Structure 1
Amino acid sequence: MKIGIIGAGSIATFIMEETQQKQKDELTVKSLFVRNLKKYEQLAADYGVELFDDIDQFLDSGIDIVVEAANVAAAQQFVPKVLEKKEVIIISIGALADEAFLEEVRQVGKQYNHSIYLPSGAIGGIDAIQNANGLGELKSVLLTTRKPAHSFGENIVGEKVIFQGSAAEAIEKFPKNINVSIILSLAGIGVENTKVDIIADSTVTKNHHQIQAEGTFGSMTFQIENEPMPTNANTSMLAALSVLGTLKKLQTNIKIGL
């Protein structure tokens, strides 16, 4: 599978390193779409990829799928265009908090028969949440996120609950800190019904996420403690791995958890 990536940050570099240098499952990054060709010349040389700053030329460069690995603004600008020609993996999940954009993506994908893939990112249990809501009988979902206090600009000793409310409210108030609530809401009962607690804690050094859900199926609890990427402390290693895992799932004829 030949991959095109929008963006050239830490996750894009991780994907190139794992595919180009370690020859993972016949996956290869062929093309990068970037704003500044000059800035990324060395990156292209290091990983043997071709740079583009024209989206149409990028999409026509012989790639099979596009990974959006830039930011929310780039996702909103380019994903609809991408879907006219290719399937896409969206990493900047925050873009889908905009309901109008989410609906646009759905409609364009449907019109051109191209799928949109959303990696689970920094959390797990998304398949279980989807399955539990298969008949619309998932009753409640609570995400409790605990992060180092300094990541919220909080100068406290111990812990402080800084937010309790719906995922919709959490996304609005903490757009850079609570992307996990978006994928959880999309998989389950929506942004208005998914509840979120956010705790700033001076005693922790990593991000902790706990998911609790109840319904006619029973109840479940998942807990994840995330290590950051070595190259980017603001991105969890699991988020990067979930992108690579999605690409690998698309390659195999045995689909686990789908």
Structure 2
Amino acid sequence: MESARKVGIVGYGHIGKYLVDCILDHPNLELAFVWNRTPSVMQGKVEEGYILTDLAEFVHIEVDLIVEVAHPSISMQYGPLFLQHADYMMGSPTALADRKLETTLRKLSAEYSHAVYIPSGAFWGGEDIRKMADMGTLLGLNISMTKHPSSFKLLSPLMEKNENVVQRTVLYEGPVRELCRLAPNNVNTMAAGAVAAHNLGFDGVQGSIISDPNLPDWHVVEVQVTGPTNPKTDQTFTVKTVRQNPSQAGSVTGSATFKSFFSSILGATGKDSGFHLC
């Protein structure tokens, strides 16, 4: 009988709590540890034996997969150390917009034979886009995200622009790399797209975020893919998908994303070193 995979969770917000409960209920998974910046949040909800107060102490715990669902800064600070001991699933892949971090994680992944997993989340069609990137036929990828103003957590100058929104407003349109810096909590979907579209990367993939006060119950993600043009017919390969994710106003993460994250944990296994969507 195959032994249960040991999973450590970094972050105990809404998604982290959901994942911990799912892992404890799953027959093929075992909770290795849980860490949160504020440990008191976990008291009475997580057994003491699972709680880490110092994240660096994970090195003394047997773990197969470490899952970050806290903040991009976790990957900056601990990502290299995680990969020396286990596979790593980045719930905040906007951290990869930092070129130095991406290069470091790719190097350590190969050196220690541990995979880096990127959850697809609200990103639809990621594997097809990756295949096009592998073949060099992916020529363009545009991802837009529309949310209620209260569902955005932004840095200046987008924060101030969003605070003054009274009607549907495009807050940003341009390369995903800069958008990841300005909206690190909101555009993980776009970061996943940039990883899948590796021939375009964070500079070539285009992203836009739209603030709409008349959209209180949904997060809308549109993905548009462009491929080659047939020289005989002058027709261009295009695919456009629209995902409407139920959500409450003020919520950064849509409700459907919770189940998607846990599905990604189940799929985060069996891969060689390198970056993989799951």
TM-score of the pair, normalised by structure 1: 0.85
Counterpart of 2:221 (choices 200, 206, 209) is 209
Following the alignment from structure 1 to structure 2, what is the Cα–Cα distance between the partners of residues 139 and 91? 27
Following the alignment from structure 1 to structure 2, what is the Cα–Cα distance between the partners of residues 144 and 36? 33
Residue 194 of structure 1 deviates from its aligned partner by 1.3
Q: Which residue of 1 aligns with 2:176?
A: 167
Pair 1:86 & 2:96 matched: no
One-letter code aligned to 1:238: A
One-letter code aligned to 1:220: V
Pair 1:30 & 2:48 matched: no
Q: Which residue of 1 aligns with 2:274?
A: none
Q: Which residue of 1 aligns with 2:234?
A: none
SS at match of 2:136: coil
Following the alignment from structure 1 to structure 2, what is the Cα–Cα distance between the partners of residues 229 and 63? 35
Q: 1:126 to 1:54 in 2, by over 3 A?
A: same
Gaps in structure 2 of 5+ consecutive residues: 153-161, 230-236, 272-276
Counterpart of 2:189 (choices 180, 189, 193) is 180
RMSD across aligned positions (CA): 2.6
Q: 1:185 to 1:213 in 2, by over 3 A?
A: same
Pair 1:7 & 2:11 matched: yes
Q: Which residue of 1 aligns with 2:119?
A: 119
Following the alignment from structure 1 to structure 2, what is the Cα–Cα distance between the partners of residues 229 and 50? 31
Residue 63 of structure 1 deviates from its aligned partner by 2.2
One-letter code aligned to 1:213: V
Following the alignment from structure 1 to structure 2, what is the Cα–Cα distance between the partners of residues 56 and 173? 28
Q: Which residue of 1 aligns with 2:201?
A: 190
Q: Which residue of 2 aligns with 1:42?
A: 44
Q: 1:52 to 1:149 in 2, by over 3 A?
A: closer
Q: Which residue of 2 aligns with 1:18?
A: 22
Q: Deviations for 1:120-173, whole angstroms, at most 9, x for unmatched residues?
A: 12222111110121211211111122222444324313x222322222232234
Q: 1:185 to 1:37 in 2, by over 3 A?
A: closer
Q: Deviations for 1:191-218, whole angstroms, at most 9, x for unmatched residues?
A: 2221223322222122111001011393
Pair 1:137 & 2:137 matched: yes
One-letter code aligned to 1:168: R
Q: Deviations for 1:100-136, whole angstroms, at most 9, x for unmatched residues?
A: 1111111111111111101012222111110121211
Residue 68 of structure 1 deviates from its aligned partner by 1.3
Counterpart of 1:237 (choices 242, 246, 255) is 255
Structure with more contact order per residue of length (Cα contacts < 8 Å, sep ≥ 6): 2
Gaps in structure 1 of 5+ consecutive residues: none
Residue 92 of structure 1 deviates from its aligned partner by 1.5
Following the alignment from structure 1 to structure 2, what is the Cα–Cα distance between the partners of residues 10 and 114? 27
Following the alignment from structure 1 to structure 2, what is the Cα–Cα distance between the partners of residues 229 and 156? 18
Q: 1:60 to 1:221 in 2, by over 3 A?
A: same
Q: Matched residues, percent identical? A: 20
